Amino acid sequence: MRVVLKLGTSVLTAGTDRLHRPRLVDLMRGLSAVRQAGHEAVLVTSGAVLAGWEALGFPPRDRTLAEKQLLAAVGQGRLMHAYAQLADLYSVPVAQVLLTADDFRDRTRYLNARTTLNACLARGVMPVINENDAVALEQLKVGDNDTLSAFVANLVEADLLVILTDAPGLYTADPRTHPDATFIPVVERVTPEVWAQAGGAGSHRGTGGMHTKIQAAEVATRAGTPVVIAPGDAPDALSRIVAGEALGTRFLAHTSRLEARKRWILAEVASGSLRLDAGAAQAVRERGASLLPAGITAVEGRFARGHTVRVLGPDGADLARGLSRYSSGDLTRIQGRHSRDVEGLLGFTYGPEAIHRDDLVRL
């Protein structure tokens, strides 16, 4: 199973004003256990602003953008250092990846980020992701790490998104202000009633409270990834959830990930076409095989890497839509050529396929 784990500031501080090292040890031990059980883990972590605040000696609270960016710039390195040290104890190699809204909006950047994260996972490296707060303008930010974790879950096509926080899960109202609120174990669909249950942020350090968690659950479940919101103070919470135990609030997925991906590919109007020779057309039509540059006879239109293109047979028959791994300019240079020649012709390679079979929707 591929699991994305989101850790909020509330979890990393364990009710204190600083990064709570013993809590971090517990969390890293949990991640290591899940990996040892054969699963892949991606961590989305908050805490940069908090770590910066701690490093500068707790300056007076100032919510201006410039101050938050400064604190994040100071804190991100320290946060990552803490993770890297702990990960070493468990022999977990980690990679820092800082993302922001453009990395999800722009298809070329999206594909590049996906390639990097998948490469990390293929090599057993655990990505440790945060928003690139120091440079992201407010209007261009994802804005909160709950939503970021849902975007990341979509990016890596996670089987599960686990959001750990300082509450046991979702209640019918904020349990801090409504002691009579009742716990909700399963949410089948994020309806207006569910939205009404979201209060504001619980702690003065967190961003968004349950509201952004419900939003994240909606984004991820619509793309086929179930979401669990669970308490971050149980050291073995992650292992138990991954093992299928009913802990926290579970949001059920609406669709399969494959369906969601197809919708995503078809959502963009094709900006160009690739015409195939008979052999490639047959492989695509009958087997849904990846399209290699060797089978392309013509490239029409202009498009960038990551964009949706039409896939046409030799007679012009409309066979499929797919995400091109190369721009139209690059494809004109490698069309009809063997995949092993791509690097020599372009000076770089994004892999042997022009369109990977996972990125192909047959019509």
Ligand X SMILES: N[C@@H](CCC(=O)OP(=O)(O)O)C(=O)O
Ligand Y SMILES: Nc1ncnc2c1ncn2[C@@H]1O[C@H](COP(=O)(O)OP(=O)(O)O)[C@@H](O)[C@H]1O
| Residues engaged in binding ligand Y (CB under 6 A) | 8-11, 165-167, 170-171, 173-176, 197-199, 201-203, 206-210
- Return the number of the residue (132 or 197) whose C-beta is nearest ligand X: 132
Smallest distance, ligand Y to C-beta of residue 101, A: 18
Instruction: State the alpha helices, DSSP H only, in the chain.
Output: 9-13, 21-36, 48-55, 65-89, 101-105, 107-122, 145-155, 192-196, 209-222, 237-242, 257-267, 278-282, 328-334, 342-346
Smallest distance, ligand Y to C-beta of residue 144, A: 7
Q: Give CA–CA dist 50/227, Å, rounded.
A: 26
Minimal CB distance residue for ligand Y: 8
Are 224 and 256 within 8 A, CB to CB?
yes
Q: Which of 26, 40, 133, 330 binds ligand X (CB under 6 A)?
A: 133
Q: Give CA–CA dist 222/259, Å, rounded.
A: 10
131 binds, options ligand Y, ligand X, none, Cβ within 5 to 8 A by partner type? ligand X
Rg (alpha carbons) of the chain, rounded to whole number: 22
Q: Give CA–CA dist 128/171, Å, rounded.
A: 29
**x/- binding map, residues 28-67, to ligand X, per CB under 6 A?**
------------------xxxxx-----------------
Q: What is the 3-state secondary structure (H, E, C) of 4-35?
A: EEEECHHHHHCCCCCCCHHHHHHHHHHHHHHH
175 binds, options ligand Y, ligand X, none, Cβ within 5 to 8 A by partner type? ligand Y
**x/- binding map, residues 61-100, to ligand X, per CB under 6 A?**
-----------x----------------------------
Please give the structure tokens belonging to residue 39: 């699963």
Query: Please, which residues have CB within 8 angstroms of residue 56's CB and are 6 or more apart in sequence?
Result: 71, 74
The answer to whether the annotation marks 154 as part of a ligand binding site is no
335 binds, options ligand Y, ligand X, none, Cβ within 5 to 8 A by partner type? none
Residues forming contacts to ligand X in the complex (CB under 6 A) are 8-10, 46-50, 72, 130-131, 133, 144-145, 206-208
Residues that constitute the known binding site: 6, 46, 133, 145, 165-166, 207-213
As annotated, the binding site for ATP includes 6, 165-166, 207-213
